[in-house]
Structure 1
Amino acid sequence: MGNEELGFRKFKLNKQLYNACDDQGYTTPTPIQDKAIPLVLAGHDLFGIAQTGTGKTAAYLLPLLFKAKYAQGNDPRVLILVPTRELSIQVGKEVEKLGKYTGLRHAVVYGGIGPKTQIEEVEKGIDILIGTPGRVMDIYSRGKLKTKQIKYMVLDEADRIMDMGFMPQIRQMLEIIPRKRQNLLFSATMPDIVVRLSEEFLEFPTRVEITPQATTAEMVDQYVYNVPNFRTKLNLLEYLLNEDDELSRIIVFVKKKDHANGIFKYLERKVEGEIKVIHANKGQNARINSIEAFKEGNVRILVATDVAARGLDVSMVSHVINFDVPVMYEDYVHRVGRTGRANNEGIALTFCNQAEKYHLKKIEKLIKKDIPELDLPLDIEIAETPKDEAKEMAMEIDIQKRKEDPTFQGAFHEKKKNKDKVDKKRRLKNKASIDKQRASGKVSAYIGSGKKKK
């Protein structure tokens, strides 16, 4: 029997893990699993570049569950750090599924709720700790977490961890855990800050890159609508959700919490199907319940800020709609990665106004791909842009132009400069005409001279 036919059994794990894989319907390893699992088993530090939806969680969990073997002692031996509460919960569920026959104990810790219950879970005795850097350090600082037994450390979604400003906590963590350990770092993109982190965190790492960094999923078709203003974006969103039956399970991404709330209320009045909204001001339980209802198919539309762009693993999302163009360009990759998962096809639509075209160009450069433009449907109402919104966009375009050209002084100065040029040209023309007429004796010598006639 060849390696391909052996599936996960070619990795020489154990019966408990094979049974868990069978339960989950895992038959053939994904590319990241195929490359990463043997390297982790061999003890290498690993730098994995892989998008969400590629199976990277199992790529590090399976070998680490094998290495941890069985429950022992009270203190964690595996530490997995992730950027968000949602991803903490998701990884915790994966540990439950894949480790169900091993007897290994785990706890999941994250902010947004009081630490008391989480501390109690840690103090019961655990083998694996999953959490956000801030909450892990909080529990450690209270004297409730011992780190001397940690032999394996994972940073998952390292780019997002860096985006969220967790570098100080990561550095603190590196000082309190044993130097002799195996380190695994996974990231969907590879900005300079992640490269610098890898140099501090990893020792002689093996790099595994499944797709070129900062690419968007191959199974996702991406398009952009050029839309003049916020109101027309709302009209377009309403039209698409009501007219296109293929938009069956949709995430609508927006930049601001107040916009998320407003769009949610608008869609509740205008569109068929259950709708939920999640953002940082929503309570932890409300967010978890909304995500679970969306996963189960009880919610058609999820309106979300980028708090949900990572760690939201729903296999049947038909469409992602970027109501706004993200200004953190890697976030576009992660938003689009919410669809086209598990070999399903997906569609990502982006609404782009005049001021957002600058950011769209930067995204196209990042993903090394031009996003084709769709014409606005003839049936939608093109609203007039309010003065305040037009002014705000003009100011934003000025800022963008200054970034590209530090000598640019702004639209007002450009208009003034152009007006001055026109005025100067007009004055010169008038002067030439007057001089000509003065020479012919047709006009007074005082006209056009700037002198007052006595």
Structure 2
Amino acid sequence: MSAITTFEEFNLNRQLLNAVSDLGFQQPTEIQQKSIPIILGGQELIGIAQTGTGKTAAYLLPVLMKIKYAQGTEPRAVILAPTKELTIQLAEHAKLLSKYTDIRIQAIYGGIGPKTQIENIQQGVDILISTPGRFTEIYQKGELPVKQVKILVLDEADRMMDMGFMPQLRKIFEVLPRKRQNLLFSATFPEKVEKLSAEFLEFPIKVEVTPQATAAKQVEQELYHVPNIKTKINFIEYLLKNKEDFNRVMIFTRSKENADNVFNFIERKHLGPVRVIHSNKGQNSRINAVNEFKEGKLRVLVSTDVTARGIDVVKVSHVINFDVPILYEDYVHRIGRTGRAFQDGKALTFVNRAEEYHIEKIEKLIREKIPEKSIPEEVVIEKTSFEEKQAIAKDIDDRKRRDDPTFKGAFHEKKASNKKVEKKADKKKEYSKADAKRNAFNSKNKAKADKRSGRKAADDKKYKGKTR
């Protein structure tokens, strides 16, 4: 079978083809070429494709084609996604592809009250895009009719498993009509996703366009050994001074604290405009920040992994991994924010001694060595604080112990050694105290003896005088 080279070759209606043309899509990607005919044929599908390969359109186009037009008030297709950001993103994408149809698309998600979302559902919806939590919440209120659902799509299934959505998904599968077409899309296919697919898919066709967890070819990767947080901050400053090359940058951190620190530094140094998003930020704040970044109003967006899969922005020039992710698949998703839609991109990763352990695991997962580069001479290398040294040593020990329960650890050996030294010192102190007591006692006794001998000598002298 020859490869499909244009969207015209799919069995899509003119309304969808016009929308595709408006979006500037010229040639279908590999996942689109393989998935669209299968979905249009009514078969169940597992699609394994990394981020940035066009997998969203790979299922949205055939789903829109099968829905065709607005009908009734109840949803006929449900798309489940793990995060609010991704849900909003998918709804926007679906609306762009369905702009020449009357298909009604509604996104529902947590973080805001359900009242308005329930009202929108009551007005009529054809395709419902939802997080598992909000779907369950509104269904349990009796405000979400599901009898007409003919298609169910799970997007970012690996992320859903990481976030512990399995119990909620099982409840959703139970309430949906049994006769439906099921589609599962995921960037990776670990054991948990395989188990999930076995539970709700019947005889699916598996389409895998790239080996699992492969970094996008158009993303140039670089690895820098950076000893501590202060030096990482200095490196960020050095890079962001190059405004021409680093024009649209995403910086990923592992913790909210680091995200806030990086944001505050960039803002203080006037290297933005910059915004930060993480789970402590309000829903509106997060949505506004993402929209501003998309529209080019922001130069830098700092984020924890909450948005690693929720942003589809073309022409992100650089992704900077300020911290190495400990969910190794997230490395692929982070760097996939750049190099999208056939554009080139660059991903820089900063790694300290503790994070070298995680890099080894990531390289094993993506089956390639990340090229190492030297820190530019202009970057000031700061001295690692005692507290950070301790944290790094403890992190290394904890990770090694998980791999080998018999491992004692340098950190703990040092601790034991320190305890020995402390014990010796304490003993010395005890001996010193005992010696001091003994000496004091001896001195006291000597003084008493001297006093007695002095008195005796005086008495003897006195006695001798009398006898004469």
Normalising by the residue count of structure 2, what TM-score does the alignment of the two structures yield? 0.87
1:193 equivalent in alignment to 2:192? yes
CA distance in 1, matches of 2:412, 2:394: 13
Aligned-partner residue type, residue 111 of structure 2: G
Residues 161 and 167, structure 1, Cα contact 8 Å, conserved in 2: yes
Q: Over the residues paired in the alignment, what is the CA RMSD in angstroms?
A: 1.8
1:367 equivalent in alignment to 2:358? no
Query: Which region of structure 1 is more displaced relative to structure 2, 13-22 or 110-119?
Result: 13-22
1:11 equivalent in alignment to 2:18? no
Q: Per the alignment, in what secondary structure is the counterpart of residue 241 of structure 2?
A: helix
Residues 4 and 28, structure 2, Cα contact 8 Å, conserved in 1: no
Displacement of 1:314 = 0.5
Residues 4 and 33, structure 2, Cα contact 8 Å, conserved in 1: no
Q: Closer, same or farther in 2 for the Cα pair 1:413/1:84, shift >3 Å?
A: closer
Name the structure 2 match of 1:105.
Answer: 104
- Unpaired runs of at least 5, structure 2: 419-468
CA distance in 1, matches of 2:195, 2:270: 46
Name the structure 2 match of 1:426.
Answer: none
Displacement of 1:166 = 1.0
How many percent identity over aligned positions? 58
Q: Closer, same or farther in 2 for the Cα pair 1:412/1:207, shift >3 Å?
A: closer
Q: 5 Å matches for 1:239-318? A: 239-243=238-242, 245-318=244-317
CA distance in 1, matches of 2:16, 2:405: 58
Q: Per the alignment, in what secondary structure is the counterpart of residue 369 of structure 2?
A: coil
Q: Closer, same or farther in 2 for the Cα pair 1:205/1:351, shift >3 Å?
A: same
Name the structure 2 match of 1:430.
Answer: none
Q: Closer, same or farther in 2 for the Cα pair 1:171/1:222, shift >3 Å?
A: same
Displacement of 1:165 = 1.3
Paired residues, what number?
419
Name the structure 1 match of 2:33.
Answer: 34
Name the structure 1 match of 2:375.
Answer: 376
CA distance in 2, matches of 1:381, 1:201: 54
Q: 5 Å matches for 1:42-441? A: 42-243=41-242, 245-412=244-411, 414-415=413-414
Query: Which region of structure 1 is more displaced relative to structure 2, 228-237 or 400-409?
Result: 400-409
Aligned-partner residue type, residue 399 of structure 1: D
Aligned-partner residue type, residue 302 of structure 1: L
Residues 251 and 303, structure 1, Cα contact 8 Å, conserved in 2: yes
Residues 91 and 107, structure 2, Cα contact 8 Å, conserved in 1: yes
String of CA shifts for 1:335-368, please: whole Å, max 9, x gaps.
0000001111111001100011100100000000
Query: Which region of structure 1 is more displaced relative to structure 2, 264-273 or 124-133?
Result: 264-273
Residues 393 and 411, structure 2, Cα contact 8 Å, conserved in 1: no
Displacement of 1:245 = 3.3
CA distance in 2, matches of 1:339, 1:286: 23
String of CA shifts for 1:16-67, please: whole Å, max 9, x gaps.
2122222222222111111000000111100000112111111111111111
Aligned-partner residue type, residue 132 of structure 2: P
Displacement of 1:272 = 2.6
Q: Per the alignment, in what secondary structure is the counterpart of residue 48 of structure 1?
A: strand
Aligned-partner residue type, residue 308 of structure 1: T
Aligned-partner residue type, residue 241 of structure 1: L
CA distance in 2, matches of 1:133, 1:43: 24
Displacement of 1:418 = 9.1
Displacement of 1:396 = 0.8
Residues 294 and 300, structure 1, Cα contact 8 Å, conserved in 2: yes
CA distance in 2, matches of 1:121, 1:90: 18
Displacement of 1:197 = 0.6
CA distance in 1, matches of 2:117, 2:25: 31
CA distance in 2, matches of 1:376, 1:222: 15
Q: Closer, same or farther in 2 for the Cα pair 1:124/1:417, shift >3 Å?
A: closer
Aligned-partner residue type, residue 8 of structure 2: R
Residues 3 and 10, structure 1, Cα contact 8 Å, conserved in 2: no
Aligned-partner residue type, residue 271 of structure 2: E
Aligned-partner residue type, residue 29 of structure 1: P
Larger radius of gyration: 2
Aligned-partner residue type, residue 326 of structure 1: P
CA distance in 2, matches of 1:210, 1:257: 34
Displacement of 1:404 = 2.6
Name the structure 1 match of 2:424.
Answer: none
Displacement of 1:221 = 0.7
Q: Per the alignment, in what secondary structure is the counterpart of residue 354 of structure 2?
A: helix
String of CA shifts for 1:406-427, please: whole Å, max 9, x gaps.
21112255458999xxxxxxxx
Q: Closer, same or farther in 2 for the Cα pair 1:89/1:417, shift >3 Å?
A: closer
Q: Closer, same or farther in 2 for the Cα pair 1:413/1:90, shift >3 Å?
A: closer
CA distance in 2, matches of 1:90, 1:246: 27
Q: Closer, same or farther in 2 for the Cα pair 1:416/1:235, shift >3 Å?
A: closer
Q: Per the alignment, in what secondary structure is the counterpart of residue 355 of structure 1?
A: coil
Displacement of 1:6 = 7.0
Q: Per the alignment, in what secondary structure is the counterpart of residue 393 of structure 1?
A: helix
Normalising by the residue count of structure 1, what TM-score does the alignment of the two structures yield? 0.89
Query: Which region of structure 1 is more displaced relative to structure 2, 409-418 or 182-191?
Result: 409-418
CA distance in 2, matches of 1:102, 1:416: 69
Q: Per the alignment, in what secondary structure is the counterpart of residue 60 of structure 1?
A: helix
String of CA shifts for 1:303-325, please: whole Å, max 9, x gaps.
01111101200010000000000
Displacement of 1:125 = 1.1
CA distance in 1, matches of 2:191, 2:29: 27
Residues 324 and 358, structure 2, Cα contact 8 Å, conserved in 1: yes
Name the structure 2 match of 1:435.
Answer: none
Aligned-partner residue type, residue 41 of structure 2: A
Residues 73 and 124, structure 2, Cα contact 8 Å, conserved in 1: yes
Aligned-partner residue type, residue 410 of structure 2: A
Q: Per the alignment, in what secondary structure is the counterpart of residue 354 of structure 1?
A: coil
